[in-house]
């Protein structure tokens, strides 16, 4: 028996050991939200609920793994089999099983951002629009994504931002149609499709829906304030049978509005579940009172929110500081001094974090840190799995096991010297719109077609394709990746990229990473859903992390805590970002974001505000 009363405070206890029925836990920052969830899981398992009838939905895979690990420790290893992960991850799992009901193959491809981009380019080109005036592919992608996540037609989204776009909205709608069509031809889904189709699967196939509804006795949702309409509907639907839906969140911390997150989901939860219990966690165990004061102050001005106040449990210490500096250069130098001083005070580098609004805010700082010889880690903007050379490897793996994957085929062949888009298109056509690497005849046909300039290179690859199937290397991804690297990629990287050795390291790491999946197809279906945050986490778990300063955006620091936090570029136009200031209502989100930044700090907080431009008030993030 776990002594819950001794380990939790009364509110946490109430939440963790609540009986059946819907439950809303409002957990302000640093109040032991994760702890409560972990103990909730342990409690349910102790009550004899089979672990595989628990569904735990989290915001990142990292959070899921962390919770499972901790719950395992608490409950003594009885938690195996819990369904957990992000919404995308869980939908992916549903769809891998029932894809045929929606007319997809079970090995459908998940399109990542690059794939989406190139398809969009094709669509725009196909409509022969003058692409000078036409919105860029990233804008289009954002538009379509917003529409999907808010469950609105594309046209409605365009209408709202039409004055900026300055084109015929019907052209955009046409591009969207083309995009959908191409995805369909490829039998592929993008990120949003996972949610859309996941929901569709449950809605349109009653027996499937029923089986999941009765399977999941309890559903637990973390970071509920950042769910969008699709996700909320998914939860409601899955929980409709038992109604044991527990959502945990903090409306103050809703920072993904731009991705369709709607904090009304959490605000209106009591309306949708009138019989729900509400538990508020307000005891803050993380930060010293001075930091909480800042936190409380900075969101006090926001309308529409659950009233909460953070109550400190810790003793006073040093006051948070704000430094005003002339420009970014001076800021970087000041930061180096601060870091040094904190080191003298006994803090490790890994206990400190530098947070900022956008990745490019950190460039000057990075240079200054290297100059000063202070090691740092940065969770960079481009995901580890999105880097060009990693995608090169992935496209090879995709060709190995996904015969209909035109995009991977094109990427892999594009790496051959002298082979360009036109030639590739020709090959694909002649192969009948499909390249099955298992099929010896097709492989021979391709070898015969390929340009002389690339024949040698391709022969090596062709042999690897053969080996993949003959030696059943599908279950030994590390081996096939290593061979691909040795026999082709190494030379290719040298030819094409500047820092080839650095990139080579990434590939070695990929070879390790891939072994954590049971086989290559499983890895491929997951890899698109892994983020660099997840990757950081596994790295920290495996190697003993060297002592390094952490640099991160506020978004990526969500859910983390550090003894010392520096927030840089706290200046009008940077943080709050000038991009969003124009749009009404979004300043509230900037304030929430700042709140998240502030509440990451346990002991010391320091805000750095360069004046750079002639902005008058360098502390715009504090509502007066």
Q: Which residues bind DNA (CB under 7 A)?
A: 59-60, 86-89, 113, 132, 136, 142, 145, 191-192, 258-259, 357-360, 363, 381-383, 388, 416-424, 529, 531-533, 553, 555-556, 577, 579-580
Distance CA 572, CA 116 (A): 34
- In angstroms, what is the minimal distance from the CB of 577 to DNA? 5
Q: What does the alpha-carbon distance between residue 301 and residue 305 come to, in Å, rounded to a whole number?
A: 10
End-to-end CA distance of the chain: 51
Query: C-alpha angle with apex 471: 467 to 473, nearest 5 degrees?
Result: 85
* Partner residues linked to 355 by β-bridges: 552, 567
Say which residues have a Cβ less than 8 Å from residue 347's Cβ, sequence separation at least 6.
563, 564
Query: Toward DNA, which CB reaches closer, 11 or 526?
Result: 526
What secondary structure letter does DSSP report for 220?
Answer: E
User: Token digits for 213?
Assistant: 């509804």
Between 47 and 578, whose beta carbon lies closer to DNA?
A: 578
**Residues 211-234 as b or e (16 or more Cβ within 10 Å = b):** ebbebbbbbbbbbbbbbbbbbbbb
Report, in Å, the least distance between residue 556 CB and DNA.
4
Smallest gap from residue 554 Cβ to DNA (A)? 8
Residue 388 CB, shortest distance to DNA, in Å, is 7
CA 333 – CA 367 distance, rounded (Å): 10
Structure tokens at 565: 């936090």
Nearer to DNA, 30 or 257 (CB): 257
Contacts of 544 (CB under 8 A, 6+ apart): none
Residue where the block lists tokens 């998940």: 110
Q: How far is the CB of 230 from DNA (least distance, A)?
A: 10
Q: Which is nearer to DNA, 414 or 478 (CB)?
A: 414
Query: Within 205-246, where are the H helices?
Result: 206-215, 229-238
CB of 358 to DNA, least distance (A): 3
Query: Smallest distance, Å, CB 139 to DNA?
Result: 9
In the complex, the smallest distance separating the C-beta of residue 66 from DNA, rounded to whole angstroms, is: 14
Nearer to DNA, 92 or 402 (CB): 92
Of residues 414 and 563, the one with the C-beta less far from DNA = 414
Of the pair 533, 570, the CB lying nearest DNA is at 533
Peptide bond into 217 cis (omega under 30): no
- Residue 113 or 319: the one with the smaller Cβ distance to DNA is 113
Q: Would you mind telling me the total number of residues written for the chain in this entry?
A: 624
Query: What is residue 384's three-state secondary structure?
Result: helix
- Taking the least distance from each CB to DNA, the nearer of 314 and 555 is 555
Neighbouring residues of 31: CB distance < 8 A, sequence distance ≥ 6: 281, 282, 283, 284, 285, 310
**Segments of 184-301 assigned E as strands:** 188-190, 218-221, 245-249, 277-281, 283-284
Beta bridge partners of residue 562, listed in sequence order = 601
Q: Closest separation between CB of residue 99 and DNA, Å?
A: 18
| CA 174 – CA 85 distance, rounded (Å) | 35
Q: How far is the CB of 345 from DNA (least distance, A)?
A: 30
Q: How far is the CB of 19 from DNA (least distance, A)?
A: 31
Using CA atoms, how far apart are residues 498 and 502, in angstroms rounded to an integer? 9
Distance CA 317, CA 319 (A): 6
The residue among 572 and 604 lying less far from DNA, judged by its C-beta, is: 572
Residue with Cβ nearer DNA (181 or 453): 453
Output the smallest distance, CB 590 to DNA, in A. 8
* Phi, psi angle pair for 119, to nearest 5°: -65, -40
| Closer CB to DNA, 311 or 359, in the complex | 359
DSSP state of 390: H
């Amino acid at each position: 028996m776990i002594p819950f009363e001794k380990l939790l405070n009364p509110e946490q206890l109430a939440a963790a050991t609540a009986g059946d029925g819907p439950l809303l836990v409002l957990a302000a920052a640093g109040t032991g939200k994760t702890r409560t969830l972990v103990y909730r899981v342990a409690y349910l398992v102790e009550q004899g609920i089979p672990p595989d009838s628990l569904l735990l939905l989290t915001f990142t895979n990292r959070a899921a793994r962390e919770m499972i690990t901790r719950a395992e420790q608490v409950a003594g290893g009885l938690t195996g089999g819990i369904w957990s992960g992000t919404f995308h991850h869980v939908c992916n799992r549903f769809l891998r099983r029932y894809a045929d009901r929606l007319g997809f193959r079970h090995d459908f491809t998940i399109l990542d951002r690059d794939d989406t981009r190139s398809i969009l380019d094709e669509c725009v080109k196909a409509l022969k629009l003058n692409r000078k005036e036409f919105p860029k592919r990233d804008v289009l992608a954002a538009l379509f994504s917003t529409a999907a996540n808010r469950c609105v037609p594309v046209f409605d989204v365009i209408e709202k931002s039409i004055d900026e776009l300055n084109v015929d909205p019907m052209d955009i709608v046409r591009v969207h149609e083309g995009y959908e069509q191409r995805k369909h031809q490829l039998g592929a889904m993008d990120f949003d499709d996972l949610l859309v189709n996941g929901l569709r699967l449950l809605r349109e196939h009653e027996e499937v829906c029923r089986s999941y509804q009765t399977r999941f006795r309890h559903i637990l949702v973390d970071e509920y304030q950042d769910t969008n309409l699709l996700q909320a509907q998914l939860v409601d639907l899955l929980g409709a049978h038992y109604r044991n839906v527990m959502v945990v969140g903090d409306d103050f911390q809703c920072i993904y509005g731009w991705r369709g997150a709607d904090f009304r989901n959490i605000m209106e939860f009591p309306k949708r579940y009138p019989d729900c219990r509400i538990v508020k966690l307000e005891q803050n165990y993380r930060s010293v009172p001075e930091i909480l004061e800042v936190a409380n102050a900075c969101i006090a001005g926001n309308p529409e929110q659950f009233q909460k106040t953070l109550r400190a449990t810790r003793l006073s210490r040093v006051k948070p500081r704000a430094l005003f500096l002339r420009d970014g250069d001076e800021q970087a130098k000041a930061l180096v001094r601060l870091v040094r001083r904190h080191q003298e005070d006994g803090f490790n580098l890994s206990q400190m974090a530098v947070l900022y609004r956008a990745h490019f805010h950190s460039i000057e700082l990075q240079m200054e840190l290297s100059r000063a010889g202070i090691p740092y880690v940065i969770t960079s903007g481009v995901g580890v799995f999105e880097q060009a050379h990693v995608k090169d490897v992935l496209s090879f793996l995709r060709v190995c096991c996904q015969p209909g994957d035109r995009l991977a085929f094109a990427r892999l062949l594009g790496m051959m010297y002298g082979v360009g888009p036109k030639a590739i298109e020709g090959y694909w056509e002649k192969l009948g719109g499909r390249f099955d690497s298992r099929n010896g005849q097709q492989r021979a046909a391709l070898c015969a077609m390929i340009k002389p300039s690339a024949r040698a290179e391709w022969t090596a690859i062709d042999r690897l394709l053969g080996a993949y199937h003959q030696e059943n290397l599908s279950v030994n991804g590390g081996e096939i990746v290593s061979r691909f690297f040795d026999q082709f990629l190494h030379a290719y990287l040298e030819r094409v990229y500047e820092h080839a050795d650095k990139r080579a390291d990434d590939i070695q790491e990929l070879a390790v990473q891939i072994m954590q999946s049971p086989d290559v197809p499983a890895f491929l279906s997951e890899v698109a859903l892994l983020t660099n945050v997840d990757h950081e986490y596994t790295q920290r778990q495996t190697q003993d992390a060297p002592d390094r300063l952490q640099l991160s955006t506020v978004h990526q620091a969500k859910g983390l805590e550090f003894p010392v936090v520096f927030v840089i570029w706290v200046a009008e136009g940077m943080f709050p970002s000038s991009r969003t200031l124009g749009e009404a209502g979004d300043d509230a989100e900037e304030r929430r974001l700042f709140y998240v930044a502030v509440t990451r700090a346990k002991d010391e907080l320091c805000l750095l505000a360069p004046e750079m431009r002639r902005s008058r008030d360098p502390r715009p993030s504090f509502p007066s």
